[in-house]
Structure 1
Amino acid sequence: MSEPFRTVGTPRFGGILVVSDHASNRVPADVDLGIGPDLLSQHIAVDIGVAQVGVIMAQRPGIAAFQGNVSRLVCDFNRDEHLPTVVPIASDGHTIPGNALDHAGHEARLARYFRPYHHALAEILDSVPQALILSLHSFTPQLASNDAPRPWHVGVLYNEDDRAARLAIPLLEAEGLCVGDQLPYSGKLLNATMNRHAEAEGRPYLGVEVRQDLIADEAGQIEWAERLSRIANQVALAIS
């Protein structure tokens, strides 16, 4: 484990790597976000449930997990480096006053967290090519800033490369799930990590967003780890 990321299991050639940019709500002791601790358990700070799902998946042969190891409020790895949202000053109606940084402070966050995270992920994918990258996120059933409910059990996101998405969507629907195709938001808008490490390199990937209440407890995490392991393997075999 390093400060910006952790790897669970051993990535294997031709395997599946579960990448979760927002797996942790950890805030280093020397970083003051200026917010109450209650916010760190909410969706603005962490993708609830994905760390545990990734750990369970990584217990299976051929699957490993690569997880962000600081809160997305400290540094959002799933953003383009040049955008100010890499160090967000607000999220879902909450101001993050400790992130109102000058240029030197912003650059220090990039150097300490963002660049090492992406360098390590690139190194794994270059040295141990994967059959499939599973980009695993979770979404809140309802945003505080928008009262519209989000009824989907799971969303499948992609940008230009929809090879895995086209295979996965019917497999997920066959499980009796309400599946969002580019919902609750579009991968054409928010897909930075996969744009960089998958689409730019021609690597097949599957972008998945699970609704947080479905993986908030151990039973749900075990259920979804089994489901996603099985479907990811089916997709990887079909693409290869």
Structure 2
Amino acid sequence: MTFTPYRQIGTLSRGGIVAVCDHASNHVPDNIELGVTPAVLDKHVGWDIGTAGVVERLVRRHGMAAHLATLSRLVIDLHREEDSQGLIPATSDGILIPGNIGADREARLQAWHRPYHAALTTWLDEADPALILSVHSFTPQLEDKGEPRPWEIALLYNEDDRAAQHAIKYFADQGLVVGENEPYSGRQLNATMNRHAEAHGRPYCAIEIRNDLIANEQGQARFAKLLAQMGETVVHALAQDG
């Protein structure tokens, strides 16, 4: 049976709010041997810890539809352009990924990266969303550099910051420590939203949540509620902006 690199859950409501989760899974397809332990796959290098739980709750409890990845970012990073150096990482946060050395780049693109984005294109065209929530998480501290990351949540953007600025204000008003283009800049890393949002003029929030805050069900429920409320607030604010 062919492995599908994405799953789509919830019922699309045209003109509503949708969620996208590029790093929702740490699954490795049967025909790939990365040469790393299950413990490595469970780390932040294998996936965005907690994001699948947040997005699934956005669907179940807050009525959104979502498009989620079903394979590990170590197999191929769906949140990278096809020519990106980090597309199939040989190392990640100082950890060697031996099975990716000399990997067949074109085969992985054809099997997983292109189908993921083709399906996302069709899905978003059908949805015509008022807002896209692109949900990621980040580790409080990298293993190979070690600088603490104090932000609880952050918004990334490249050229279009319309929705991000409203979201930043919303989260700050909730008392959260909010980053803007942190812990890295959307001007350097915004591949999925560059392609599927900015290129089409679609408003979006590229969200980074610190993963220790969503490592359990209680945290995931809390942030799903915050994201849902933020989304409604941003859609209303964008309508007021005209």
Contact 1:15 1:130 in 2 (8 A): yes
CA offsets 1:16-47 (integer angstroms, 9 cap, x no match): 11111000000011110011111010000010
Q: Matched residues in 1 for 2:231 and 2:118: separation? A: 25
Cα deviation for residue 101 of structure 1 reads: 2.6
Q: Matched residues in 2 for 1:154 and 1:174: separation? A: 13
Q: Matched residues in 1 for 2:11 and 2:17: separation? A: 10
SS of structure 1 residue aligned to 2:108 = helix
Compute the TM-score of the two structures, normalised by the length of structure 2: 0.95
Q: Matched residues in 2 for 1:123 and 1:237: separation? A: 26
Indicate whether 1:48 and 2:38 are aligned.
no
- Correspondence list, 1:1-240, <5 A: 3-60=4-61, 62-102=63-103, 105-240=104-239
Q: Matched residues in 2 for 1:211 and 1:128: separation? A: 29
Q: Which amino acid aligns with 1:173?
A: A
Unmatched segments (≥5 aa) in structure 1: none
Q: Matched residues in 1 for 2:3 and 2:231: separation? A: 27
Q: Matched residues in 2 for 1:161 and 1:148: separation? A: 28
Q: Matched residues in 2 for 1:101 and 1:87: separation? A: 10
Q: Which amino acid aligns with 2:82?
A: E
**Segments of 4+ moved more than 2 angstroms:** none
Contact 1:15 1:62 in 2 (8 A): no
Q: Matched residues in 1 for 2:161 and 2:131: separation? A: 13
Q: Matched residues in 2 for 1:52 and 1:62: separation? A: 15
Q: Percent identity?
A: 50
Q: Matched residues in 2 for 1:111 and 1:195: separation? A: 20
Cα deviation for residue 234 of structure 1 reads: 1.0
Contact 2:10 2:63 in 1 (8 A): no
Compute the TM-score of the two structures, normalised by the length of structure 1: 0.96
Cα deviation for residue 85 of structure 1 reads: 1.6
Contact 1:11 1:62 in 2 (8 A): no
Cα deviation for residue 6 of structure 1 reads: 0.7
CA RMSD of aligned residues (A): 1.3
Unmatched segments (≥5 aa) in structure 2: none
Instruction: Give the total of aligned pairs.
Output: 238
Contact 2:158 2:194 in 1 (8 A): yes
- My pick for the range that moved more, 88-97 or 60-69, is 60-69
